[in-house]
Structure formats: C-alpha cells, structure tokens
Amino acid sequence: MEEAQIKVTDLCKNFKTYKREAGFLEMVKSFIKRDYVIKNAVKNINFEINAGERVALIGPNGAGKSSTVKMLTGILEPTSGSVRVLGSDPFKERSKVVRNYGVIFGQKHNLWWDVPAIDSYHLFKAMYDISDDDFRKRLKVVRNNLGIKDYLKTPVRKLSLGERMRCELGLIFMHNPKIVFLDEPTIGVDVVGKKKISDFLLRINKKFNTTILFTSHDMGDVDKICKRAIIINEGCVIFDGKISHLKKEYVDSKTLHLKFNKPLEQKTIFDKEIEKIGTSTYRLIFEKTESVSAFLRKVLGDESKEVIDIRIIEADLNEIIRNIFEGKT
Amino acid sequence: MSFNTYYETVKIALKDRMAYRLDFLVDMLINPFVFLIVQFLWTTIYAFNAVSTIQGFTLQETITYFAISQIVGFFVWTWIVGMVGEVIKFGDFARYVLMPVDFFWSMISEAFGNKLPSMLIKAPVLLLLLKLFFDIIINTNPVYLIMFIMSLLMSFLLYNVFFFIMGLLTFWQESYFLFELLGVAALNFFSGALIPLDFYPGFMKTIVNILPFKYIYYSPIMIYLEKFTINESLSILFQQLIAFIILYFIAKLLFRIGRKKFTSQGG
Amino acid sequence: MSALSYIKQQIIIGLTSRAEYRFSFFLFIFLSVVLGFLSIFVTYAVYDATGGGVPGWSFYEITFMIGVYTFIRGIYEMFFVIRYMPGEIRRGDLDMDLTKPLNLLTLYVRFDIDNIGRLITAFLMFWIAVPNINLQLSLFNILYFIFLVIIGLLAMFAVDLFVITFAFFVTNVNSIQNNLDNIRSRFCRWPMNLYPKSMQLFFTFVFPIIFIGFVPASFFLGKEIIFAYWLSPIIVIILTLLSIKWFYYGVAKYTGTGS
C-alpha cells in the first residue's frame, strides 16, 4: 500500500511563555529576571492524510491547531515526534517540500498591496518556475472559475475583501500545488464569493487530486468542502473521521418543526413539550433514544390537529462542534 | 474631568513604553558611542586649526552642545506625525469627535506619556554617562537649570505641535511620509540639532533667525550653556511660548478645515 | 527559479507601486535629495567657520567620500530590503515568507525605487567634488575603485544582516536598528583617519563600516589607510560569511520557538 501523503506521528510542541506582570514593581523586577511557564501546545498527535483528501482541521483558538499547521508547513520545528509530507520532513527540507504547497493564512497576504494582482501572479510565475504555457492555461481556469477577470488589473488595495481573497486563492493554484493549506480563507467574504470559492476548491480537488487542508470556524464552509474532520482540542486529536459520521454519532438530539393549520392552545402534544416559533409553527426536540417516526404517526393520525408542514432539522455542525468543545460529549 | 482623561492617557502611553525594556536600555546605553565621534572630531578640529574658540565656543562648550542636543532629542522626539497621520488616514478621528476630548491635547498627552521615561530616565542617565567618559559641562546653577527644563518642555510642545500640523496635512494627501520627511528636513536644517547655529555661514544665519525651529533645539541648549543672560533667557522662554501659541492656532484652524473637507466627502 | 525573471518582476512591481502616487513620489525624491545634502552642509559650515576643517582632507574630498557612502547605501537599499524584516517578524508575516520555495534572503531582493533620491544625491555630490579633487586616474585605479565599492556593498550587507538578526531574539529591535544606523551614518560622514587606531580597527574588523565609503574614497584619492588595501576583500568576505551564519542561527531559533 502506498504511504500516506501526510503522516504525523507522536507530534509534540512545547512553548515557553513569559509572564507579563501588570504592576509597576513587577515591571521593574522583570527587567532582571523573567518568569516563564511551559505550555504543551501539541500533545502527541497522530494522523495520516492521503492524496486528494479534503480535510477540515477544527479546534478552538489556542488549541494547538495553528501550531500543528505550522509544523506541517515547515515553519515551526517540532519538539518531538515526526512529520512526513511527500516522503520528506517539511522542516528539514523546507524549500523542497514547500514547492508543492499552496498556502493561505487568513489575514496575511501573498499579494502585493499597491500593485494589480496580476503582477503578483507574474512574480509567482518566476518564483515557482511556471512555464509560459502552464501559466496561461491556469490563469484562464482561475479567472473564469473564480470570476476575477476584472479584478486582476486593479491595485489590490482597492479590492474588497471578497475580491481580494479570490485573487489570493487563484494565485496559490498557479503552480498546481499538491497540497493546499487554507486557514480562514472565507472570513469576511460575501455569500456569492464564498460559493465561488467552494465550487472552485471542489473542482480543483476533483480534477487534480489536490489535497485540501481547511481550517475554519465557518462550519457551513467546512461542511460544503470537506469530507473528513480532525478535531483538535487542548493539544490532542479528539476526533478524526468523516463529517457525516460526526453528524450521526455526535448529535444527541433531533429537531422537528411542525406547522399546523391553526395555533394550538396546549403546551404539549402527546406529552412532548412544544415551543412556539411562529403563529402556528412549533419546535420539538427529540433525544437520541426517542423515535421521531413513532411520534409523527401519532400526530398525523390525530384528527383534532391538521399538520400542514413538517421539517426535520439537520444536525447543525456548529452546534455539534460547540458541544464537543464544551465537553458535552 | 478632561484633565483626568489626559492623565490616564499619559499613564497608558507610559506603560506601553515600559514594555519595551531592551529597546529602552539599548537606546540609553548605545548613545554614548555616537559621542566618540563628537569628541574626536572636534578635538581634532580645534587642534588642527589651532584655535581655542570657534564662533565664541570653546571645545568644551562645543562638545557640551552636542551632548545637550542629545538630551533635547530625548525630550522632544515623538512619532506624533505618524499617530495623527494614521488616525486621519483610517478616518479614526470619529472617535475623537464623539468623546469629550480635544484631538490635539489627546495626541499631545499620548506623546508626552511616551516620552516620560525618556525624559525622566534616559536623559539624566545619558548625561551622567557622558560626564563620566567625556569632558562636558554640567550646569549646576539652579536658576539656569530651571529655565533650561522649562525651555525643554516648551521645545517638546513646539516640536509636537509642528509635527501635529505636518500630520494634519494627511487630510490633503494620503501618505504622511512626505510630510514627515519635510518636517525632519526643516528641523535638521534649521533647529540647531546638528551643529550650533552660530557656526552657520552668514546667509543661513538670517534664514534661521526668522524661522521658529531654532526654539526647538538651539534655545534650550544655549540656555544650558549660559550663553544668554538671565533676562535674555526669560525672553527666549517667552518667545517659545508665543511661537507655540501661534502654531497651536494654525493647528486648530487646519484641523477644522481638514475635518470639514473630510466629512463633506463622506468617509 | 529564473533569477532574471524574478528580479525583472520585482522591478516592475517596484515601479508600478509608485505609479499612482506620482506627484508625492517626485516630491519625496526631491526632499530626500535636499535632506541628503544636510551632511555636506554641515561639512561646509565647519570648513567655513574654521578655515582648515579636518587634517588631511579638503571640503571637496570629504564631499566625494560622502558621495561614495551615499551611493553605496542607495544601491544597497534599493535592491535589498532586509531592513524591513524585523517589522515582518513583529507582525507575524515572516511565516508567509517561510512558505515560499525561495531562500529567505532571496525573498528580500526587491526594487525600492524611493532610493533613487540617494543615487541622485550621490551623483550631485560627485558633480560638485570631482572637479576640485585629485583623483588618481588610471585604468587600474578606476577598476579597483569600482571593486572596492562593490566590497563596500558587501560590507553594508554584512552589517545590515548582523543588526536585523537581533529581531529573531528580541521582539522590538527598533532601538538597536536605529542606534546602529545612527552610528553608521555618523561615522561614515567624516574621514575615519581622525579617530584613534583602536577605533579604526574596530570599524574594520568588528563593525566593518570603514569600507562603506571611506576605503574606496581614500583609495581613489591616493590616501593611506591603516591596513593594506588588498586586504579589504578578504576581511569583508570573512565578516559576511560570519554574518550569514549568525543570520541563519537566528532563523533556526525563530522556527524552533515559534512566535
């Protein structure tokens, strides 16, 4: 069997954080000696990612997620354990490995600020040694699929955030990277832009088998783009598997919306508490063990009430994640 | 109430400065090395030209002039032009319009807070170090010393109101780097920061006398060196005050015009 | 990577970024030329006030030397912008640089056209000085002078690299940078031979600013310096290699401890 494209084994990272005191006396003391605390940001992380996978890296801020990504991209040296990408150590052989990466770190930009985006594209062309032919072809793909044709000639500082992010995204695909790291790429982007971005990522992934590592707090995007999720909390991997599995297993309740032909007077239906959310629409929550279908049979069979609309609310990924972090699971 | 706000601004700015400990130490301790140039250069110049005074300055006075110039630097130099420029560039001064504080005095307080450690610690320490290793005059006359310190404070106000005005020009031209450069050029040429104004060739002397920049460096240094009589020194202090008042009103006027222009364009 | 296409693109970017600010750009250049003449003005004032100035050097000879210094600085800061690295480290932007397949130093080869002002100042200084000085003109001298200027560029690189590496260890190197820049520009504006030998040796073998102006100018003017001219490239190259080693040590520290 082929070795995984990305292989992380027993990865650990410790940081020294210096204490910053508030009072005046402490400040003077800190001139001479500083107290520090060792923080274990990443504690023995293991996972493997194969080529072409679309993985979401989820975790609260400060959970070790960004440190992990930094170690994968060769920016940070691990304290112990190993990272192997495309058969090499990204830290020790940074230049060689990084050539295959496309990286977007949220607020930081690859695009030069004062010049049109296309100039930055040409710079990347020189940097990554992209042939004229490939450059032209890929530029066409990127221009059309991200809808940035008109934006490329405008100075980047004049673009809106959404327009800029799309240009950034196009930029990192010009050298056809094998692995793409996206950290909060859709923050501040409007709905139309987000759709263009997610469609583009899915298309590229399908066509070129590009591995996508996606970090985001936007669960809507995560759900749309990624198939697998690795959840990191307090430096450890607490979940690694399919997102569909996450939804099935970790949701502990189902939500049902029922709309009747007229408002009800009772507070319960068949001993089930109901919450009014509209003139005649009500929300009901079912625990994992309860049967929704059995309940529905009873309600639909009840002639005293007429149901005109039924909706089963899908498990909300945001809520699942929140529950996980708040330790409810 | 308003004074309290400014006092708090000073305190926060001060704490902000103290956070950069190494920065602070370096600035204080590396400075004397620069002084080696001054020492050797001028000793050589006086010896080579076989003179005991140049334009009325003895070697010791000349060297002291440079030392006090550094001290003045520790008292006046702030980045107020950038602070103001950034506020205007990002349209941030809505904040100042909404709060019951005056933009100018708010900026000055912040700049003052930033400077306080330099004034209170860096300056005396530098003076001490320079006295230890070089032959400079330490003025012990209390009358002159008081006038000197008052003159320094006036210099602070003058320097900062001038660069405040430079920063205000951002209303008309997006990047303030230009005005910073303009201000720095003017200051370096006309304030006496680099060499005593008395050393300037004739034609420059007249120009320098008309402009207000001499009040920023030349005046306090000369007071320290007791090159003016007490009466003359008091007169200089008064002139510094007048110069400040004039510039202050120019600043207020420019701010009003600029703000009108800004809000009329929508932001 | 094609070095030529990379630098060509950097030049295009460097020029395009100023294209919109044309008016303020020209004004900026004008002001920097004016400011550049400050040191000459001070020299002039000193010579005017004293008559003799500094031993062994005429006003025009010093102007020539400052011209060489300004020229070296102008060329260096135009094409190599590593002095901005501490700012990038502070903002956390260095991480983006590390995701590029280029060597970190190569990434800072740019085209900072603002330094055109310095080059103009330098040429004006040559314009003023050259008719009034005795240049030892010969083909060999001209070539060796150019060679020493290049060595001066290398020395500038070594010094610059040494200073900014502190940014990897200390968050705010502003003071260090400013103060060392201050020392460098102040010392380079007067002939080094008026300082004691120990100081001159320090500025040759430890903080090699003697090469950024004084050495090439002295050579072309036929003046003597405290060591043999032919030692210059050897000293500078060794110091440059040490600086580079120091720089990469800083990088290793940064990637080890993170931000």
B144 is written with which tokens?
A: 């002159």
**B41 with C53: Cβ contact below 8 A:** no
What are the tens digits of pLDDT across the range A259-312?
888 888 888 888 888 888 888 888 888 877 777 888 888 888 888 888 888 888
Interface test with C, best of A65, A91, A123, A174 (most C CBs within 10 A): A123
**What is the least distance, in Å, from the CA of B221 to any CA of chain C?**
18
Interface test with A, best of B11, B16, B18, B90 (most A CBs within 10 A): B18
Q: How many domains does chain B have?
A: 1
Binned at pLDDT 50, 70 and 90, residue C20 comes out as: confident
Q: Which amino acid is at B238?
A: F
Q: Which residues of B touch C179 (CB under 8 A)?
A: 26-27, 30-31, 34
Interface B:C, Cβ pairs < 8 A: 102
Higher-scoring residue by pLDDT: A84, A252: A84
Residue A256 CA to residue A282 CA, distance in Å, equals 8
- A27 and chain B in contact, CB less than 8 A: yes
DSSP character for B169? G
Residue of A nearest to C107 (CA): A127
| Side-chain-side CA neighbours of residue A271 (13 Å) | 2
Residue A108 CA to residue B225 CA, distance in Å, equals 53
Higher-scoring residue by pLDDT: B214, B92: B214
Report the predicted TM-score, pTM, of the whole model to 2 decimal places: 0.84
- pLDDT given for residue B1 in this prediction: 46
CATH: 2.30.29, 1.10.12, 3.40.1000, 3.30.70. Which one for A251-312? 3.30.70
**B18 with A27: Cβ contact below 8 A:** yes
Domain that holds residue B62: 3-264
Q: Which residues of A touch C97 (CB under 8 A)?
A: none
- Cβ-nearest to A98 among C5, C100, C256: C100
**What is the SS3 string spanning chain A?**
CCCCCEEEEEEEEEEEEECCCCCHHHHHHHHHCCCEEEEEEEEEEEEEECCCCEEEEECCCCCCHHHHHHHHCCCCCCCEEEEEECCECCCCCHHHHHCCEEEEECCCCCCCCCCEHHHHHHHHHHHCCCCHHHHHHHHHHHHHHHCCCCCCCCEHHHCCHHHHHHHHHHHHHCCCCCEEEEECCCCCCCHHHHHHHHHHHHHHHHHHCCEEEEECCCHHHHHHHCCEEEEEECCEEEEEEEHHHHHHHHCCEEEEEEEECCCCCCCEECCEECEECCCCEEEEEEECCCCHHHHHHHHHHCCCCCEEEEEEECCCHHHHHHHHHCCCC
Q: Which amino acid is at A166?
A: R
User: What ranges do the domains of chain A cover?
Assistant: 4-246, 251-312
- C48 and chain B in contact, CB less than 8 A: yes
**A30 with B18: Cβ contact below 8 A:** no
- pLDDT given for residue B166 in this prediction: 94
Residue B92 CA to residue B76 CA, distance in Å, equals 25
- pLDDT given for residue C2 in this prediction: 74
What mean pLDDT is reported for chain C?
Answer: 90
3 state SS of C28: helix
Cβ atoms of B61 and B137 closer than 8 Å: yes
Residue of B nearest to C24 (CA): B178
Which residue reads 């951002």 in tokens?
B170
Among A58-72, B72-86, C140-154, the minimum mean pLDDT is found in A58-72
**CATH of region A4-246:** 3.40.50.300
C234 is written with which tokens?
A: 């050897």
**B173 with C24: Cβ contact below 8 A:** yes
The two most distant CA atoms of chain A are separated, in Å, by 82
* Dihedral Cα B171, B175, B176, B179, nearest 10 deg: -90
What mean pLDDT is reported for chain A?
Answer: 85
